[in-house]
Structure 1
Amino acid sequence: MAHTDTHGALDDISYLARSHHRVPLLVALATRPRSGAELRDLANVSSSTVRRTLREFETRRWVRKDGFRYEATELGAFVASSVEALVGQVETERKLRDVWHWLPGEESGFGVDTCVGAVVTVAESDDPYRPVNRFASLLRETDQFRFVGVGIALLEPCRDEFRRRVLDGMRAEIIDPPSVAEHILETYPDHCSKPLESDNFSVRIHDDPPPYGVCLFDRRVGVCGYDHDSGTVRVLIDSVAPEAREWAEILYESYYRESRPLRRETIL
Structure 2
Amino acid sequence: MDARSVEANTEDVLVELIRRHDVFDVLADEPLEKPELAAALEVSPATAHRILTSFREKNWIERTAQGYALTPFGKALGRATATYRSTVAETHRLAPLYDVVTAAASSEPIDFAWFDDATVTTVEPHDPYRPLNRFIELLEATSSIRGIDTTSVSPTYVEDVYDRIADGLPVELVYDQAVVERLATEYTDLATDAFDRDNFTLWVREEVPFGLALFDDRVGIGGYDDETGLLEVFVDTDNEDAYAWGEQLFELYREDADRLV
Instruction: State TM-score, norm by structure 2.
Output: 0.68
Give the distance between the partners of 2:105 and 2:72, measured in 1 at CA: 40
| Mapped partners of 2:11, 2:156: distance in 1 | 48
Q: 2:176·2:208 contact (CA, 8 Å) conserved in 1?
A: no
Question: Relative to 1, partners in 2 of residues 1:254 and 1:61: Cα closer, same or farther, differing over 3 Å?
Answer: farther
Distance (whole Å) between structure 1 residues aligned to residue 62 and residue 163 of structure 2: 59
1:122 counterpart = 2:122: yes
Contact 1:148 1:213 in 2 (8 A): yes
Larger Rg belongs to: 2
Check conservation: 1:92, 1:116, Cα contact below 8 A: yes
* Residue aligning to 1:214: 212
CA contact (8 A) 1:16 1:22 kept: no
1:238 equivalent in structure 2: 236
Inter-partner Cα distance in structure 1 for 2:72 and 2:165: 53
Q: Return the offset for 1:137.
A: 2.2
What pairs with 1:1-268 in structure 2 (closer than 5 Å)? Answer: 5-19=6-20, 21-22=22-23, 24-25=25-26, 29=28, 78-95=76-93, 101-105=99-103, 107-108=105-106, 109-110=109-110, 113=113, 115-153=115-153, 156-168=155-167, 170-192=169-191, 195-199=194-198, 201-263=199-261
User: What do residues 76-120 of structure 1 show as CA deviations (whole Å, max 9, x unaligned)?
Assistant: 665455434432343345456688555443742346655544333
Post-superposition shift, 1:254?
A: 0.6
Q: How many Å apart are 1:150 and its aligned residue? A: 0.7
The two structures, once aligned, show a CA RMSD in angstroms of 4.5
Say how many residue pairs are matched. Answer: 254
Unaligned runs of 5+ in 2: none
| Residue segments in structure 1 that go unaligned for 5+ positions in a row | 264-268
Cα displacement string for residues 210-262 of structure 1 (whole angstroms, at most 9, x for unaligned residues): 23111222332222222333322232222334443343222111111112322
Q: How far does the alpha carbon of each residue in 1:8-43 deviate from its partner, in whole angstroms, 9 at most, with x for none?
A: 4433432232246346547xx4xxx6686xx98xx7
* Cα distance change on mapping 1:85 and 1:236 into 2, 3 Å: farther
With normalisation by structure 1, the TM-score equals 0.67
- Which has the higher mean CA deviation after the structures are superposed, 216-225 or 185-194? 185-194
Q: Deviations over 1:171-206 (max 9, x none)?
A: 32111123322332443344346655555x323223
The answer (yes or no) to whether the contact 1:152–1:180 under 8 Å persists in 2 is yes
The DSSP-based 3-state class of the residue aligned with 2:141 is: coil
- Contact persistence 2:174–2:205 (CA under 8 A): no
Q: Confirm or deny: 8 A CA contact 2:151 2:229 kept in the other structure.
A: no
The 8 Å contact of residues 92 and 115 in structure 1, kept in 2 or not, is answered as no
Report the identity percentage: 25
| Matched-pair contact (CA < 8 Å) for 2:23–2:41 | no
The alpha carbon displacement at 1:146 in A equals 1.5
